[in-house]
Amino acid sequence: MKRILYLIALALLAFLPSFAENASEDADFAKLKERIYSIKDSRKRLDAAYNLSRDSINTTREVYLLGILYDLASKEKKEDDMLYALRNAMRCMYNLDYPIDSLLPKYHMLAEMKLDTKNYHYTMIDAMSFLCYSYIFTADYVKVFDLTNELMTYYPKDNYGEMKACQMLSLSYSEQFQDSLALEYAKRAYELSKGDYLDRSYTIYMGLDVLNGMNITKEYSDMKPYLDEMYEIMEKEDKSTKTEIEVNYITAMLGVYSLCYYVDAKELDKAKEYYDYLERDSTITLYAHDMCIYRTMMSRYALAKGDKEKAWEWVEEEYPYPPLSYRKQQVEVLAAMGRWKEAYEKANTIAYLVEEFFNQSFAAQITEMEAKYKVFNLESERNQMLIYFIISIAVLFIVIVVLFVVLYVRQRQYSAKIKRANETQTIFLQNMSHELRTPLNAICGFSQLLTNPEMREFISAEEMVQYGNIIKGNTDMLSTLVGDILDVSDMESGKYRLNVGECRANDICQNAVNTVSYRCPDHIKLYYTTEVDDEFTIMSDSQRCQQIIINFLTNAIKHTAEGEIHVHTSLKETPGMLTFSVTDTGEGVPAEKAELIFGRFEKLDTFKQGTGLGLSICRQLAERLGGYVKLDTSYTAGGARFVFVHPLSE
């Protein structure tokens, strides 16, 4: 919904002269401020700012007026007005897609007030909720779980904080396709909303979340008690406390879920009453997400009646970010119409979205927060013995590796420098904790995807092979991580040994390219060129030379979205030496970071996979082989060029 509004706003702005508009807006704001400050009575000044802001809901004008209201209230020490201004400024800024950095100062201003009133605590809870919404919108789920953990125990005199936490967790899980967990938290939020400390509006909206969750998880038969209870609440509710748009919205969504229930129950006569009402009511105003749900239900009814063309009319419109239920309904209707190719393409899109979710490592973030904060007391459903086995092995592996690292660091570093040892251990454990879990969770996630009967019907044989390759790739990633740990261990303990012999330079590069080729996306060209004959040899450790070039290639693949990756061998570039180079068309490395990236645990992009050990190991290996590695800062054609220079003699 927010994305749709944002795109519409951008489209409108494209047709307006921005300079003139901003000038006009600034002049309008200046007049407003002058008008408000000209009022002599302080209470009337506050009321004027309040009323004008209420007339400008969810606009930049409202943000400006709430700023004036806060300034006036702070001078008069009117705490309730200050709380109102800050809370609603955060609400408006979130709805207008302000960046999270714009909301945080308002939140900190609230936190610094440290009042001991119910209004203050409720305002703080709402403020944390707005931050949660923003973090969910930007897919920063670790911060979401941080805030929900705090909300669970904030202001324990009633359950308002816990209710909001459950609501945020429900939305967060829903965004990550974990629909069963999303429904469980929605139900908890609904029950908590019935407390005497809240009005019935909370119960209505929490109930709509529950009904939406039941629709997604296909628990249609459980909808009836919630529908009956919510209709009863609406009958008793004072309509004068709500706007006409709000009443129409709630009534429409209850009608949508009632239609859903009766279609599933095959009571089509009863369903027709809601279908006819929803089709003819011109006052229904829904955001894009709810409109998709509305159209999905109308399509289900038409399909149940055998009217395939009408069913397709309801869902043929494309939305930028539709819920999966909308996409699945498109697949079902297209299949019913015999349009198999289009149905397959839609189903393939659904499978791609699930794959994209796992690639972004959301599962790893969830697992980390579950272990760290223990805010999740609902058991996840694990129906496959394979998943149990993989998870058990993963946990055991992590424990063994972490224990090994802790013991090793303490044993080897304590006698040298205590401070340096503690810092190294902390950095090492922080990297390992995340980097080991990420491939393990990807392995678990795709294994579960391949063994889930409901998802396999949408997965082609080609995609099954692709997912198997992803599992293999993450397994190789684990092996690389463990190899890096052992290499660092051997180097620092003095046990590292080289196996020097005659090596063919071209074989070294070709083997390195072959090793990483399956990791390279098909649209990126990976190739090797050389200036030396196939029989040209050097005295070196072939395996360690390959390791350096493989590390260069792995970095290039991670940081190259389009273009090519080129491996080259040259005798001319560095006289008297053999030069191996890896050049990519990726995001590049700033020249001032050329030396920093070869330090241990150094990563320019903390969101990219890796421990930050690879380039450091490359430098140590190159020096042991009598050569050196570097970033070619003179390369300016776009991307990055890493160089490994090796001596021609032993």
Asked if residues 585 and 563 have their Cβ atoms less than 8 Å apart, the reply is yes
Together in a domain, 487 and 505: no
Among residues 447, 477, 493, the one where a domain terminates is 493
Q: What confidence score (pLDDT) does residue 602 get?
A: 57
Q: Which two tokens stand for residue 489?
A: 């261990």
pLDDT digit string, tens, across residues 133-148 = 888 877 787 788 888 8
Q: Which residues pair with 540 in a beta bridge?
A: 501
Q: Is 549 strand, coil or helix? A: helix
The mean predicted confidence, pLDDT, of the chain is 78
| 9 pLDDT higher than 50 | no
Q: Which residue has the tokens 């702005």?
A: 13
Q: Is 64 strand, coil or helix? A: helix
Q: Which two tokens stand for residue 319?
A: 């939305």
- Does some domain include residue 158? no
- Does some domain include residue 271? yes
Angstrom distance (rounded) from CA 627 to CA 640: 20
Together in a domain, 507 and 573: yes
| 22 pLDDT higher than 70 | no
Per-residue pLDDT band for 569 (boundaries 50, 70, 90) equals very high
Together in a domain, 487 and 531: no
Together in a domain, 523 and 486: no
Asked if residues 343 and 335 have their Cβ atoms less than 8 Å apart, the reply is yes
Question: CA end-to-end span of the chain, whole Å?
Answer: 65
C-alpha separations of 505 from 442, 543, 552, 574 in Å: 36, 12, 16, 15
Angstrom distance (rounded) from CA 528 to CA 531: 11
- Does some domain include residue 519? yes
62: which residues sit within 8 A by CB, 6+ positions away?
53, 56, 88, 92
Together in a domain, 643 and 510: yes
Q: Which helix (H) or strand (E) holds 569?
A: strand 564-570
Asked if residues 351 and 412 have their Cβ atoms less than 8 Å apart, the reply is no
Per-residue pLDDT band for 19 (boundaries 50, 70, 90) equals very low
Q: What is the pLDDT averaged over residues 92-120?
A: 90
412: which residues sit within 8 A by CB, 6+ positions away?
492, 493
Together in a domain, 236 and 318: yes
- The region, left, alpha or beta by phi > 0 then psi within -120 to 50, assigned to residue 75 is alpha
Angstrom distance (rounded) from CA 637 to CA 630: 17
Asked if residues 401 and 471 have their Cβ atoms less than 8 Å apart, the reply is no
Q: What is the pLDDT averaged over residues 513-530?
A: 88
Q: Which helix (H) or strand (E) holds 535?
A: none
What single letter denotes the amino acid at residue 547? Q
C-alpha separations of 383 from 216, 370, 387, 464, 532 in Å: 20, 20, 8, 20, 57
Question: Which CATH number characterizes residue 612's domain?
Answer: 3.30.565.10
Total length of the chain = 650
Q: Look at 100 and 413; give whichever has higher pLDDT.
A: 100
- Does some domain include residue 205? no
Q: Which helix (H) or strand (E) holds 504?
A: strand 501-504
DSSP letter (8 states) at residue 321: S
Q: Which two tokens stand for residue 572?
A: 């001319």
Together in a domain, 483 and 432: yes
Half-sphere exposure of residue 36, counting CA atoms within 13 Å on the CB side?
A: 25
Percent of the chain scoring above 90 in pLDDT: 24
Together in a domain, 513 and 442: no
Angstrom distance (rounded) from CA 148 to CA 151: 5
Q: What is the pLDDT averaged over residues 365-389?
A: 47
Q: Which helix (H) or strand (E) holds 567?
A: strand 564-570
Instruction: Report how many domains make up the chain.
Output: 3
- Does some domain include residue 74? no
- Does some domain include residue 214? no
What is the number of helices (H) and of strands (E) in the chain?
Answer: 26, 7
Q: What is the pLDDT averaged over residues 121-143?
A: 87
3-state SS track over 292-343: HHHHHHHHHHHHHCCCHHHHHHHHCCCCCCCCHHHHHHHHHHHHHCCCHHHH
CB-CB neighbours of 13 under 10 Å: 11
Together in a domain, 283 and 394: no
Q: What confidence score (pLDDT) does residue 440 get?
A: 63
Q: What angle do CA 180, 287, 210 make, to 5 degrees?
A: 25
Return the minimum-mean-pLDDT range out of 233-242, 361-370, 563-572.
361-370
**Burial state string for 228-260 with b = 16 or more CB within 10 A and e = fewer than 16:** eebeebbeebeeeebeeeeebbbbbbbbbbbbb
- Does some domain include residue 587? yes
114: which residues sit within 8 A by CB, 6+ positions away?
none
Q: What confidence score (pLDDT) does residue 624 get?
A: 87
Together in a domain, 437 and 395: yes
Together in a domain, 505 and 554: yes
Q: Is 644 strand, coil or helix? A: strand
Q: What angle do CA 92, 93, 95 make, to 5 degrees?
A: 65
Asked if residues 509 and 567 have their Cβ atoms less than 8 Å apart, the reply is yes
pLDDT digit string, tens, across residues 175-199 = 777 888 889 999 999 998 887 666 6
Angstrom distance (rounded) from CA 297 to CA 255: 10
Angstrom distance (rounded) from CA 195 to CA 198: 6
Asked if residues 127 and 106 have their Cβ atoms less than 8 Å apart, the reply is yes
Range of the domain at 275: 220-338
Per-residue pLDDT band for 482 (boundaries 50, 70, 90) equals low
Together in a domain, 486 and 519: no
CB-CB neighbours of 469 under 10 Å: 13
Nearest CA among 362, 368, 359 for reference residue 434: 368
pLDDT digit string, tens, across residues 42-67 = 888 888 888 888 888 888 888 888 99
Q: Which two tokens stand for residue 79?
A: 């705490």
Q: What confidence score (pLDDT) does residue 55 get?
A: 83
- Does some domain include residue 356? no
Q: What angle do CA 338, 343, 346 make, to 5 degrees?
A: 165
